[in-house]
Amino acid sequence: MPLSGVRDISPLLGHAPTMPGLKTEPFAIHRAEILHLIFESESSSMLELLPKALHPTIPPTVTFNVMHCPEGPAGPFTLAQVRVGCRAGVRPRGFPLACFCDSDEAAAALKDRWGYNCLPGAVRLRHLHDRVVGTVEAGGHTALHVELVDPHPISGNDVQYTANMNLARVPYGVELKPRLVQVDPEYTFHRAERGRPSVVAFDQTPWHAAGLNAVYGISATYAVADVLLPRIRYLCDPDITALQGTETVN
């Protein structure tokens, strides 16, 4: 039998976004910069971090993603995410524990249209000659500092990102129900690099990531790509398996 998450989502709903509707139209972002790191994490907490609908990856993984967008649904923004690697049924996905965004207007649009749980913070992505650096400053201290070290070019065909399963409250008639909202952007790559992944600082508290530790670096990539934020197509009940609880959005 596959392992499934055991997390009680009730404490998460207090800061989960409320989506006013599900008829989101796609939005194209040109030449976004994306830093993406994957680490193996400790197995002791892998089930406690995921809702019951999702299965952990084996070995368990955590991804750090920082994306700078020169344009967006409400102007330019930079977004940072910490996600737990997982599967919905057999399909690879990522469950975001939290996101930080440096634009209040963009954060509101990302919450309303795609269910991103955006918190305010100073998010920065820098491409230097010997490394790519992503940082988040929140509450007067460093919440995240990740790096791709010694970058060298690769083909964009070698880069692949998994879809998000964003926890949000969505409308069902006059009710709001918690659902995992599948967000699967499309990417057209202009440039890509890879290097050695490094986590310089990671404060678990602001990310709601108690027990999550990055212990072994797997990969780090940097890319410049056109990103198409999608129409919402699928929802999933977080408290039953994705095979039973996935719904199509018409």
Is cis: bond before 59, omega within 30 of 0? Answer: yes
Position with higher pLDDT, 173 vs 88: 88
pLDDT tens digits along 220-234: 999 999 999 999 999
**pLDDT by residue (tens digit) across 194-212?**
999 999 999 999 999 999 9
> Are the beta carbons of 146 and 199 closer than 8 angstroms?
yes
Q: Residue 1 pLDDT > 70, yes or no? A: no
Q: Which domains does the chain have, with CATH numbers?
A: 10-248 (2.40.400.10)
d(CA 27, CA 19): 17
Pairing status of strand 27-41 against strand 122-127: unpaired
| 225 vs 123: CA distance, rounded Å | 19
Q: CA separation (Å) from 76 to 15, 36, 58, 102, 181?
A: 24, 19, 36, 9, 23
Residue range 82-97, pLDDT digits in tens: 999 999 999 999 999 9
- Cα–Cα distance measured from residue 68 to residue 55, given in angstroms and rounded to the nearest whole number: 30
Answer whether 7's CB lies under 8 Å from 46's CB.
no
Q: pTM of the predicted model, to two decimals?
A: 0.95
Please answer whether residues 191 and 132 qualify as being in contact, where contact means their C-beta atoms are separated by less than 8 angstroms: no
Q: Are the beta carbons of 92 and 58 closer than 8 angstroms?
A: no
